[in-house]
Amino acid sequence: METTLTSKGQVTIPRDVRQHFGLKQGMAVSFAIEGDHIALRPARSPRQEGGSGFGLIKSRRKGVPTDFDVASVLTDAP
């Protein structure tokens, strides 16, 4: 498959290629230089990259969490 580079440096990815890789309008893609080739890949989202997971779950509680001694809460329980 072949396409033409525009004056703005843009190319149109053929429909068959977009469908094969699940590329949708507005999706981010990444480019990599591999020897004498250019590789285009769907950009990895933060979910795919993993990480600490901090901030992924929203608390239903209102207010600010406080530090407390768990052992004292358990010993005070009936």
Q: CATH for 1-49, among 2.10.260.10, 3.20.20.80, 3.40.50.11810, 3.30.70.100?
A: 2.10.260.10
Q: How far apart are CA 10 and CA 54, in angstroms?
A: 37
Q: Letter for the amino acid at 58?
A: K
- pLDDT value of position 70: 72
Q: Is the four-CA dihedral 5, 6, 10, 14 of positive or negative sign?
A: negative
Q: Where are the domains of the chain?
A: 1-49
Q: What is the pLDDT of residue 68?
A: 73
**pLDDT at residue 51, rounded to an integer:** 64
Q: Average the pLDDT over 58-78 and give the result.
A: 71
How do residues 11-59 score in pLDDT, each as one tens digit? 999 999 999 988 999 999 999 999 999 999 888 765 555 566 777 777 7
